[in-house]
Amino acid sequence: MDNLAAAGLILASASPRRRTLLESVGLRPTVMAADIDETVPNTEPPVAALRRLAEAKADAVYVQAVAANTSHRALLAADTGVLVDGRLLGKPSDAADAARMLRALRGRTHHVVTAVCLIAIERNERLVTHESTALRFRRYSDSLIAGYAASDEPKDKAGAYAIQGVGALLCEAMFGSWSNVVGLPVERLPDWFRTVGLELEAFLVDL
């Protein structure tokens, strides 16, 4: 079972956080990062954009996997965004951009949405869905913003914070999945796999 499980899942994402989350629940994905255009037009609704990007990543890697005659049985892609005032906050371009995002989130409730595309490779049966978590941030000081924005932690993080690090101190309350904020709501995986005709248990390498 271990050999089958270890070759079972492709993660179509270069995110080390998603890989760590999957490994934390007994999965050992093969990482195949997708190379797609992630531009989001201003007119595109944020959640629709995240779902489109997740499916585009999955499609790009699915084509590669099938062409390589893969023995993997499932493929998972995801895209996470921070929504505030109906706008999608991406990853900060620099410390000044991170500070701008942190000011926009201060003392307010925002949502972190992770869109997921899961494909059962042999049948090309797929699920496109999303999970949302609400977070209420504290009224933190300008000096905290400046110090945190200048640190390494906000880099490559949607919304310019890491809930699994010092960024947790920015949050006053959370409503929903913690792992969703990190990048993948792992507690939803059993249901999602079952939806595409697969049992997650068969992919666990430590059972």
Torsional class of 107: left (φ above 0), alpha (ψ -120 to 50), beta (otherwise): left
Instruction: Find out whether 33 and 14 touch, Cβ atoms under 8 Å.
Output: yes
Q: What is the pLDDT of residue 82?
A: 96
Give the model confidence (pLDDT) of 25-54 as tens digits.
999 999 998 888 888 888 899 999 999 999
pLDDT attached to residue 164: 95
Q: What is the pTM of this model?
A: 0.91
pLDDT above 60: residue 110: yes
- pLDDT at 1 (0 to 100): 40
Structural domain total, the chain: 1
pLDDT in tens, 50-99: 999 999 999 999 999 999 999 999 999 999 999 999 899 989 999 999 99
Q: Would you state the pLDDT for residue 38?
A: 81
Name the pLDDT band for 2 (thresholds 50, 70, 90): very low
CA atoms within 13 A on the CB side of 92: 24
**C-beta neighbour count of 39 within 10 angstroms:** 8
Neighbour-count burial for 100-136, b at 16+ CB within 10 Å, e otherwise: bbbebbbeeebbbbbbbbbbbbeeeebbebbbbbebe
Is residue 5 scored above 70 in pLDDT? no
Q: Mean pLDDT of all residues in the chain?
A: 93
- Which pLDDT score, from 0 to 100, does residue 36 have? 84
Domain that holds residue 93: 2-203
How far apart are the C-alpha atoms of 168 and 157, rounded to whole Å? 13
If you average pLDDT over residues 111-129, what whole number do you get? Answer: 97
Q: Which residues form the catalytic set?
A: 79
The amino acid sitting at 56 is: A
pLDDT of residue 207: 60
Per-residue confidence (pLDDT) for residue 39, from 0 to 100: 85
- Residue whose tokens read 């995986």: 189
**Average pLDDT rounded to a whole number, residues 108-117:** 98
Residue 52, both tokens: 């489109």
Q: How far is CA 64 from the centre of its chain?
A: 21
- Check pLDDT > 80 for residue 132: yes
How many angstroms separate the CA atoms of 14 and 68, rounded? 19
**What is the four-CA torsion angle of 3, 61, 64, 201, rounded to 10 degrees?**
20
* Helices within 16-111 (DSSP H only): 16-24, 46-67, 95-105
CATH number at residue 10: 3.90.950.10
